[in-house]
C-alpha cells in the first residue's frame, strides 16, 4: 500500500495465516459477501501464492485491490468491495 491510502477504515479482517491456496481467497470472498459496497477488507495471509492470487481474485471479481504490505511474517492485503 502506498501512503496515499493513509487512514483507510478497515471494515473487517480475515486471518488466513497458515492456510494454503485457495483458502485465503475463498475466505476473503465469503467475508466480502457480507460487507457493504465500499467497505474495506483486510486479509492476512502467509501463503506465497497469495501475492498472485489476491490481485487476480480482485480483477476477476471486480473488487478494488488497494495493495499489500509485509506484516510480521505474513502479508496484509486490502480489498475494497464493489457493488
Of 78, 68, 83, which is closest to residue 42 (Cα–Cα)? 78
**DSSP calls for 31-51:** HHHTSPTT-EEEEEE--TTHH
61 and 29 in contact (C-beta within 8 Å)? yes
To the nearest 10°, report the CA torsion of 20, 35, 57, 51: -50
Instruction: Note if 21 is an active site residue.
Output: yes
Q: Which of 21, 26, 35, 39 is catalytic?
A: 21
Q: Which residues are catalytic?
A: 21
Amino acid at each position: 500500500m502506498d501512503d496515499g491510502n493513509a487512514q483507510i477504515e478497515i471494515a473487517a479482517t480475515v486471518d488466513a495465516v497458515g492456510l494454503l491456496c485457495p483458502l485465503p481467497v475463498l475466505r476473503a470472498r465469503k467475508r466480502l459477501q457480507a460487507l457493504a459496497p465500499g467497505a474495506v477488507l483486510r486479509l492476512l495471509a502467509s501463503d506465497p501464492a497469495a501475492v498472485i492470487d489476491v490481485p487476480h481474485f480482485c480483477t476477476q471479481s471486480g473488487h478494488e485491490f488497494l495493495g499489500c504490505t509485509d506484516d510480521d511474517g505474513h502479508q496484509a492485503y486490502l480489498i475494497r468491495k464493489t457493488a
